[in-house]
Each structure stands twice: as structure tokens, then as C-alpha cells.
Amino acid sequence: MDPKRRIKKEEVIRTSKEAEMFNDALVAKAKVLGFITGGMVAGTLGLEGVQGFIFYFITHIICSACICFSLNFTAMPFFKDLSAIMTGNIFTNLLSYLLFWVMFYNLIYVL
Amino acid sequence: MVFFIGVLRYAGRDLMMGKGKKDPDPINISQDMLKNDELIDLAEIQSEIEGHEYMNNALTRSARFRTNCDFLPPDSVKLRKAYFCRNETGYFRKEVANNPLQAMMNPEMMTGMLKGQFFMTIFNFGLISLTSTFFSGFVNAKMPFPLAQSFRSMLQQGLTLSNLDVRYVSSFSWCILCIYGLQGLQNLITGTGSMKEEMEMMTGGMMGGQQKGGMPGQPKDFTKIFKGEIENYEILTSKFSLEHAEKQVLLQHRHTKKMRF
């Protein structure tokens, strides 16, 4: 489908559910590495407490922006809504981020 | 030294990544019956096969129908709904007796699925207990954020200094942090991580909620399942999405020079 085609009212967009689920899972997988590197950055910068969690959300925004950029900001053939990338799976990678944050914080500042 | 302990722990996690592939195959009742090693006369199990096959097929067929009913014209939808739900003669209005033979087939399913689950959870527990006995008494990590005092008993299990800041945690908590934190990475490297079975156990299984009888261990209660399907049909609304199909085709090709209106 041409992404620039305007949708008329009578048209119904049908998507296959397996494709939708696959795309969502792919977005989640793509973010994992981003969060891990975000955790490393937070650890090396020595962020403490609340700053670290704020940096978690900053990392989330940066990862979502990168994914949107790679889609050229059109959701059309792949997703229904670009904002779903930003709002979905917010806390899924929290533990990975936490692990790498703690690990690098310890490696550099404590030991 | 604490650094080396941390590295060792990390290496232990790397090992765990490789052992996460205990996915058992999904088991069908009919497949189970046909995979027996003994030679069985077809006539013996013919009646069992018939009953189960039709019930399984009807359920899956009606589920598929409900998800895709938008592609059928409204008359066909009504026809199929009536076939399943008509009073007295509809398929889901049948009274079905619980087959006592079902209880015999289910233990096979149980051992197949739960074996994989138990193995991985026991592996996890074993790893945790191993690390906590080997590396007890070491201060392993300092958390970058302040914690409440009530977490002290959880996070500082082996440590003897009781006045230590809660930010300093024991190796046990670092172990747990590693397990949960590296699941994401495991999912990327292997197909799925080793915690899929644990998560399934905790959320009650993916298919258990659907079938309403619970997959492992209980005979399927078909009357309840059928009632549930009838209720699903009552709330089903379908809009024939191909109604304007011709109009869409014409709209698509309205700029082609060959079509003249």
C-alpha cells in the first residue's frame, strides 16, 4: 500500500494479527540493547537515585525517537499508530537498565 | 576481590543463557492417542477419536469464525451462528458427558509440559542457593539509589555488619538482579529466555484461561466451554467489510486511462 494514499471513509484497513504482534515484538526487542547501553551510560556518569530514573525515561524517549526515525515517521504499512511505540512497554526493560546501571556504577565508582 | 566475585557471577549468568532451551512441544489430545507405542486396532479407539476430534475441531472452527467473521456476507454469518447456537438442535446446545477415559490421557500431557517448567525453575533455585552458600558474607555491590530500611533483611542476607548502609547489598541480591536483568538479553540471543516457563506458571498458563477446564490434569468440561461459546456469539457483532469492495477497486484505478465513465 502506498503510504501517502489518503484513506476514504468507506475503506476498512485490515491487518493480520500475526503481523501486528510480530511488529510489536520487534520494536520491543530493538529497544533492549538501547536500554542496556543507556544503563551503561548512567553508570559511568555516576548518576544517583532520582537522576538515574529520569535518565531511564530519557533513554526511552531517545530509543522511541530512533525507531520512529527509521520508519521515516510514517506508520502506515507497519503500525497503526506511531505513538504506540512511545507508550508501549515503558517499564519492560527497567530491570535490564537497572542491572547495567548498578554494574557500571560499581565498577567505576566503588571499586 | 569483590570485583572478581561480580565477574564470576556474570559468567554464571552467561552459562545460564545457553541452557534456556527446554521448550516442550505443544501436545494435542489426538496426537497423543496416535503416538502410542503399542499396536492398537483402529476400531478400539475409533469412538474416542471421533468424539474428541469433532469437539476440538468445532471449538477451533468457531473461534476462527468469530475472529474472521467480517469477511463473510451477513447471511453466511447468520447461517453459521444458527448452526452453532440454534435452540435444541444447535451444535453447542448438545449435552456432553464427561468421558472417564479423558482422565487417563491427561497425565501424559501433564508430564510433558510440566517437566520443562520444573527443570528450569529448579535450575534457577539451585543456582541461587549455590551462589548464596559460596559467596555469603561478601559485600558485592552498592546501589546508586537510597533504599528504605525495610529492604535490609532482603538485600543483605549474609552480611554480619548490621548497621551497614542499605545501599550495600549482598551477592544474593546481585544474583537475583542479574537473573531478571539479563532476561532481555537472553531473549535476544536465544529464541526465548529461560524464564518463559516460570512466567507461564505464575500467570496461570496461556491456554488454561481459554479452555476453562485447565489444560493439565483436569478433564475438559465441554458443557461449560460450549456455554461460553454461546455467550460469545450473543455479543458478536460483525460488519461485512467487503461490502464496498467494488467501489474501492474503482477508486483505486480511477486514474487509469483505460477506464472511462
Partners of B251 on chain A (C-beta within 8 Å) are 8
Radius of gyration over every alpha carbon of chain B, rounded to an integer in angstroms: 28
CB contact under 8 A, B248 and A14: no
> Can you list the pairs that B69-74 forms with residues at least 24 positions away whose Cβ atoms lie under 8 Å?
B69/B236, B69/B238, B70/A12, B70/A14, B70/B238, B70/B239, B70/B240, B70/B241, B71/B241, B71/B242, B72/B238, B72/B240, B73/B240, B73/B242, B74/B238, B74/B240
- Which pLDDT does position B207 carry in this prediction? 43
Residue A92, C-beta contacts closer than 8 angstroms, at least 6 positions apart: A28, A31, B184
> Is A52 within 8 Å of chain B by CB?
yes
Helix, strand, coil tally for chain A in percent (to 5): 65, 0, 35
- CA distance, residue A69 to nearest chain B CA (Å): 22
Residue B9, C-beta contacts closer than 8 angstroms, at least 6 positions apart: B131, B135, B140, B171, B174, B175, B178
Partners of B247 on chain A (C-beta within 8 Å) are 10
CB contact under 8 A, B185 and A43: no
> Is A13 within 8 Å of chain B by CB?
no
- Which pLDDT does position A54 carry in this prediction? 92
Partners of A15 on chain B (C-beta within 8 Å) are none
The vertex-A103 CA angle with A102 and A108, nearest 5°, equals 100
Nearest CA-CA partner of B117 in B210, B202, B178: B202
CB contact under 8 A, A102 and B241: no
Q: What chain A residue is nearest to B147 in terms of C-alpha separation? A: A49
User: At B228, which helix (H) or strand (E)?
Assistant: helix B222-234
- CA distance, residue B196 to nearest chain A CA (Å): 15
Contacts with B, A 21-40, CB within 8 Å: 29, 32-33, 35-36
CB atoms under 10 Å from CB of A79, counted, come to 19
- CA distance, residue A99 to nearest chain B CA (Å): 6
Q: How far is CA A23 from the centre of its chain?
A: 13
Q: What are phi and psi of A37, to 5 degrees?
A: -65, -35
- Which pLDDT does position B47 carry in this prediction? 57
3-state secondary structure of B142: strand
Helix A94-105 × helix A49-70 angle, to 10°: 120
> Region A73-95: what's the mean pLDDT?
85
Q: Which three cell numbers, joined as nine digits, stand for B242?
A: 467487503
> Region A22-51: what's the mean pLDDT?
89
Domain boundaries, chain A: 20-110
Name the residue type at position A51. Answer: Q
Name the residue type at position A71. Answer: L
- Which pLDDT does position B29 carry in this prediction? 42
Please, where are the H alpha helices in B19-99? 29-34, 42-68, 74-85
- Which pLDDT does position B13 carry in this prediction? 61
- Which pLDDT does position A55 carry in this prediction? 93
| Burial profile B15-24: b = 16 or more Cβ within 10 angstroms, e = fewer | ebbeebeeee
- Which pLDDT does position B9 carry in this prediction? 60
Supply the mean pLDDT for chain A.
Answer: 83
Reported confidence tier of residue A41, pLDDT bands at 50, 70, 90: very high
Nearest CA-CA partner of B168 in B178, B180, B155, B177: B155
Give the tens place of pLDDT for each residue, B52-64. Answer: 555 557 778 888 8
- Which pLDDT does position A48 carry in this prediction? 82
- Which pLDDT does position B181 carry in this prediction? 79
Nearest CA-CA partner of B92 in B62, B136, B133: B62
Nearest CA-CA partner of B212 in B200, B201, B198, B228: B228
Q: Distance between CA atoms of B189 and B165, rounded to whole angstroms? A: 36
CA-to-CA separations, B79 to B71, B241, B260, in angstroms, rounded: 14, 18, 39
> Is A14 within 8 Å of chain B by CB?
yes
- Which pLDDT does position A47 carry in this prediction? 86
CB contact under 8 A, B144 and A111: no
The vertex-B232 CA angle with B227 and B238, nearest 5°, equals 150
Q: What are phi and psi of B50, to 5 degrees?
A: -60, -50
- CA distance, residue B105 to nearest chain A CA (Å): 32
> Region A83-99: what's the mean pLDDT?
88
- Which pLDDT does position B89 carry in this prediction? 77
Percentage above 90 pLDDT, chain A: 23
CB contact under 8 A, A96 and B141: no
Asked if B169 and B7 count as a contact pair (C-beta separation under 8 A), the reply is no
How would you classify the pairing of strands B139-142 and B168-170? Answer: antiparallel
Give the tens place of pLDDT for each residue, A58-81. Answer: 999 999 999 888 888 887 778 888
Q: Distance between CA atoms of A15 and A33, rounded to whole angstroms? A: 28
pTM of the model: 0.64
**Better-scored residue on pLDDT, A11 or B119:** B119
- Which pLDDT does position B10 carry in this prediction? 60
> Is A106 within 8 Å of chain B by CB?
yes
> Is A55 within 8 Å of chain B by CB?
no
- Which pLDDT does position A50 carry in this prediction? 87
> Region A9-30: what's the mean pLDDT?
78
CB contact under 8 A, B142 and A33: no
- Which pLDDT does position B196 carry in this prediction? 56
Per-residue pLDDT of chain B (261 residues; tens, 9 = 90+): 555 555 556 655 655 554 444 444 444 444 455 555 555 566 655 655 555 555 557 778 888 888 888 888 888 888 888 888 888 777 777 776 655 555 445 555 555 555 656 666 777 777 777 767 766 666 666 777 777 767 777 777 666 666 666 677 777 777 777 777 777 777 777 666 555 555 554 444 444 334 433 443 345 567 777 888 888 888 888 888 787 788 888 887 777 776 565
- Which pLDDT does position A35 carry in this prediction? 92
